Amino acid sequence: MKIALAQINYTIGDIKGNTQKTIDVLNQQRANGADLVVFAEMSVCGYLPNDFLNYKQFIRQCEQAIEEIKAHTQGIACIVGAPEVNPVLQGKDLYNAAYFIENGKISAVVRKGLLPTYDIFDEYRYFEPATDFKCIDFKGHKIALTICEDLWNLGDNPLYTTCPMDELIKEEPDFMINIAASPFDYKQGEQRIFILSQNCHKYQIPLFYVNQVGANTDLIFDGGSLVFDKAGDMVAELSYFKEEVLVFDVEHVKNSIILGEKPVKREPVEQVYNALVMGIRDYFQKSGFKKATLGLSGGIDSAIVCVLAVEALGAENVYPVLLPSKHSSDHSIKDAEDLAKNLGCNYTTLPISDITDAVEETLSDEFKGLELNITEENIQSRTRGLLLMAMSNKLGYVLLNTSNKSESAVGYGTLYGDMCGAIAVIGDCYKTQVYKLAEFINREQEIIPVNTITKAPSAELRPNQKDSDSLPDYDMLDKVLYEYIELQKSAGEIVELGFDEAEVTRVMRLVNNAEFKRFQTAPILRISPKAFGSGRRMPIVAKYSF
């Protein structure tokens, strides 16, 4: 029997488009001799449609899509993911389901048993967990079909009290199939391979795993679909960050025959780069946008975002804006110009000094006798935001936010100023990761001017200003932030690692006090295990004592 794994890029809510992609693949793979085509979790509607699932018409459209797919399964079978109405009144109204369709009929429906409700996931908000698990018979094979999280309840501290495969293995299946929507982060790939391999080792049967690819708002799906033999050894790995469909002979997998060449192992920085490019590209394509703008300061953050945007959209569709103030150095302006020229972008320069002077003059009576402080710095930042948003409104460009995770964490940014934007491209990258991205971008030739990388970071909102005037050294800051945000350690635990207690207390206070800013920021492309946004939900009004 031949199984095709269809690693496809779906759009949430584009049921018609997703269905057509499914039908096209079915027709292609029927011609290629495949017996079964496996699509990803929630392939019909995209993962996760969130409160779309509360609309009856949305569910009806999903049901109609299943009917349409059924009509194209003569001589071939497929597995597709979609919501299914719960026929029982008690409990949630829907299941997260996998439909097994063959020869124009639904021969089985498998429901997801383990519903992730942590970090970015909120499936129990919508779905009822399955409690009954049965294998599927197809062409002389018994298949244990599961959905994503159903295979993740392994380890010393299992999250769930049940394990679907413990029930399915009692029927002595020949192999497992798992359909998934597993979002990317720079640690997820290795963890995913380990967990899936452990399932094969535990149950002693092969596994065919298909993951979706593509980005939907902040979530990025990297693909990397996998095939393992019964010992847990990988025999095939699909590409990362692109659509791909490959056919596998079940007998070859059972006999541990390595199938094709494995993709070259990518370093984390390259994975993050590819993920961010895909995040930008899909945000624009799926939203119907074409052109982007951003403030290009000559600093490393805006330089990285500009490079990523050009890679994703093409130089002709990226229009950087230089917004020098009276505190901008000549070198910063030249660095920004050189970057735009290196990338082949058209750019413009809009000096802000006259505008900020006019604002300060308007406020002069109100501020009479008061010393200059952060207010005047924020006026400059908000002037830039005003001009960039005006460009966006008038010319139809989508504004890209250039704030990094270190800044967002400690509130080193101005609401309605440099925090403006439709999508925060590097908002999940610490400053130290931004420098690694710059090194990766310049690995073969100088694209980002060297001075942009080597000079001391500065917002250039006052004379001789440096980030280090307001913040700890980024090497130390990012390590403390990682322990607090990603690893969720307390101040005491972080101090025990050897960090200065006063600095740790200061950093944590900055993070906690900036929650109101992050609540209003643009959606952030997620590349870490714990990103700001839906993955980290903290109260704005609270008293922190840890």
491 close to 505: Cβ distance less than 8 angstroms: yes
Annotated binding residue 364? no
**For the residues of 482-494, what is the DSSP string, one character each?**
IIIIIS---HHHH
The reply to whether 298 sits in an annotated binding site is: yes
Angle, in degrees to the nearest 10, between helices 330-343 and 300-313: 10
Does 349 appear as a known binding residue? no
Contact 133, 113 (CB under 8 A): yes
- Is 179:79 a contact under the CB 8 Å cutoff? yes
Measured from the Cβ of residue 524, the count of other Cβ atoms closer than 10 Å reads: 27
494 is in an annotated binding site: no
Q: Of all helices (H) and strands (E), which one includes residue 510?
A: helix 501-513
Strands 94-102 and 423-424: unpaired
Strands (E), 258-336: 292-295, 318-322
Is 249 annotated in a binding site? The answer is no
403 assigned binding-site residue: no
DSSP string covering 4-67:
EEEE-B--TT-HHHHHHHHHHHHHHHHHTT-SEEE--TTTTT-S--GGGGG-HHHHHHHHHHHH
- Was 182 annotated as part of a binding site? yes
Of the residues 41, 102, 237, 311, only one is catalytic, namely 41
378 annotated as a binding-site residue: yes
Contact 86, 120 (CB under 8 A): no
On the CB side of 48, CA atoms within 13 Å amount to: 23
Q: Is 112 part of the annotated catalytic residue set?
A: yes
Question: Concatenated DSSP letters for 199-212?
Answer: HHHHH-S-EEEEE-
Contact (Cβ atoms closer than 8 angstroms) between residue 432 and residue 347: no
Is 299 assigned to a binding site?
yes
Alpha-carbon torsion (325, 331, 334, 338), positive or negative: negative
> What is the maximum span of the chain, computed from C-alpha positions, in angstroms?
87
Q: CA 437 to CA 302: how far, in whole Å? A: 12
Q: How many other C-beta atoms can be found within 10 angstroms of the C-beta atom of residue 152?
A: 23
SS3 content of the chain, % helix, strand, coil (to 5): 40, 20, 40
3-state DSSP of 340-390 = HHHHCCCCEECCCHHHHHHHHHHCCCCCCCCCCCHHHHHHHHHHHHHHHHH
Q: Which of 21, 70, 112, 489 is the catalytic position?
A: 112
Extract the tokens encoding 179. Answer: 């359909």
> CB of 359 within 8 A of CB of 383?
yes
Q: Can you name the residues that pair with 142 across neighbouring β-strands?
A: 137
306 is catalytic: no
Residue 301 annotated as part of some ligand binding site: yes
Please check if 46 is assigned to a binding site.
no
Residue 161, judged by CB atoms within 10 A of its CB (0-12, 13-18, 19+), counts as exposed
Q: Out of 45, 78, 148, 345, which one is annotated catalytic?
A: 148
Name residues whose C-beta falls within 8 Å of residue 36's C-beta, 6 or more positions apart in sequence.
Answer: 1, 2, 3, 4, 76, 77, 78, 79, 138, 139
Are 425 and 401 in contact, with CB atoms under 8 Å apart? yes
C-beta separation of 95 from 128 below 8 A: yes
List residues forming the annotated binding site for deamido-NAD(+).
378, 407, 517
Binding-site members are: 118, 182, 295-302, 378, 402, 407, 517
Known binding-site positions for L-glutamine: 118, 182
Annotated binding site for ATP: 295-302, 402
Report, as residue numbers or ranges, the catalytic residues.
41, 112, 148
